[in-house]
Amino acid sequence: YEIESVERAVQGELLGVKAKIISLEDLIVQKSISERDKDWQDIKNLIEVNSKLDWNYLIEKVSMFSKILDKPEILDKIKRLKK
């Protein structure tokens, strides 16, 4: 997953420095495995304002981590947030 995440990163600028920036989908994947309520609120907000998410990729990766962590509720939460 890490290699794919780096390959999906986009070129951007952060504080005047050119840098690779994680894709929105990968940010959501990484936040989804957190136990923090703030991360879930961030996910909800990100999904609400971004209509062009790659849902197939997002569901695939969240599903993978849900299985690895034996936490099916992670995938369930993401699916509930899908419009």
Q: What distance in Å separates the CA atoms of residue 43 and residue 53, rounded to the nearest whole number?
A: 12
Look up residue 38 and give its amino acid.
K
Q: What distance in Å separates the CA atoms of residue 41 and residue 22, rounded to the nearest whole number?
A: 19
Q: What confidence tier does 18 reach under pLDDT thresholds 50, 70, 90?
A: very high
pLDDT at 14: 84
State pTM to two decimals. 0.88
Q: What confidence tier does 83 reach under pLDDT thresholds 50, 70, 90?
A: low
Tokens linked to 30:
């990484």
- The pLDDT tens digits for 46-59 are 999 998 999 999 99
- The pLDDT tens digits for 25-39 are 999 999 999 989 999
